[in-house]
């Protein structure tokens, strides 16, 4: 059994629009070459997952049962000045694949914890601090200034995910060669919406 990771109900391929503080959020799976899609070319980097845009502090739930293999810091102003602190949770599902729930404002689970289907694992965070985005920021980041997109960054891996590597930073891969055990999560997420 699988559950959509955000607490917004999702009939069909997209959820109903949700209005929060004057912003409209439509939960959808970004398709190839769309902003937030898997392996999106961001000029100097490739996106390792899918961004599911949702209001900040939206509950994030486990898709399947499993065990928490790791939690940690994903982004921080100490790493890049235009980042807010966000966190990640990695769950090894009973189906043997690893789900990385990233850019969380807060984690609600700990390493080693058994996770039930649909269990709360954290809350959607806001990764960018737009006040700190300036001309020294990468072009991809400058385009996002003042858009304040809050999202769940979701990655899918065959084996233990990379969280620390010279080419991996904040859910992006700084090399054109795709990682072997990184899986495109588009179909996996689409199967939950059907």
The Cα–Cα gap between 53 and 100 comes to 16
Angle at 75 between CA 17 and CA 169, to 5 degrees: 105
Distance of CA 91 to the CA centre of its chain: 13
Residue 16: its pLDDT value, please?
A: 39
In this predicted structure, the answer to whether residue 22 has a pLDDT above a threshold of 80 is: no
Contact 155, 126 (CB under 8 A): no
Average pLDDT, the chain: 89
Tally helices (H) and strands (E) across the chain: 2, 14
The closest of 57, 184, 76 to 120, measured between CA atoms, is: 57
Q: Where are the domains of the chain?
A: 18-193
The Cα–Cα gap between 38 and 122 comes to 22
Residue bearing the bigger pLDDT, 111 or 25 = 111
Residue 194: its pLDDT value, please?
A: 59
For the residues 8-29, what does the mean pLDDT come to? 48
State the pLDDT confidence band at 26, using cuts at 50, 70 and 90.
low
Phi (first) and psi of residue 186, to 5 degrees: -55, -55
pLDDT tens digits for 158-170?
998 999 899 999 9
Q: What are the tokens at 112? A: 């080693």
Other beta carbons within 10 Å of 86: 25
pLDDT tens digits for 35-65?
899 999 998 899 999 999 999 999 999 999 9
Phi (first) and psi of residue 161, to 5 degrees: -65, 155
Distance of CA 21 to the CA centre of its chain: 22
Other beta carbons within 10 Å of 139: 9
CATH of segment(s) 18-193: 2.70.70.10
| Least confident stretch, 66-75, 101-110, 177-186 | 177-186
Positive or negative: CA dihedral 164, 170, 189, 108? positive
In this predicted structure, the answer to whether residue 10 has a pLDDT above a threshold of 50 is: no
For the residues 148-152, what does the mean pLDDT come to? 87
State the pLDDT confidence band at 145, using cuts at 50, 70 and 90.
confident
b/e per residue 110-129 (b: at least 16 CB within 10 A)? eeebebeebbebbbbbbbbb
For the residues 70-90, what does the mean pLDDT come to? 96
pLDDT tens digits for 114-135?
999 999 999 999 999 999 999 9
């Amino acid at each position: 059994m699988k559950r959509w990771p955000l607490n917004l109900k999702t009939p069909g391929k997209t959820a109903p629009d949700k209005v929060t503080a004057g912003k409209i959020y439509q939960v959808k799976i970004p398709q190839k070459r769309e902003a937030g899609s898997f392996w999106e070319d961001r000029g100097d980097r490739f996106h390792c997952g899918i961004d599911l845009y949702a209001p900040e502090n939206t509950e994030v739930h486990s898709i399947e049962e499993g065990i928490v293999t790791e939690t940690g810091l994903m982004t921080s102003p100490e790493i890049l000045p235009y980042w807010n602190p966000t966190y990640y949770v990695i769950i090894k599902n009973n189906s043997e694949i690893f789900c990385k729930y990233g850019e969380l404002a807060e984690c609600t689970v700990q390493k080693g914890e058994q996770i039930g289907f649909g269990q709360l694992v954290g809350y959607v965070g806001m990764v960018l601090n737009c006040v700190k985005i300036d001309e020294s920021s990468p072009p991809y980041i400058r385009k996002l200034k003042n858009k304040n997109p809050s999202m769940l960054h979701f990655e899918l891996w065959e084996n233990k995910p990379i969280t620390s590597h010279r080419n991996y930073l904040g859910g992006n891969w700084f090399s054109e060669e795709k990682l072997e055990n990184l899986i495109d999560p588009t179909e996996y997420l689409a199967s939950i919406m059907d």
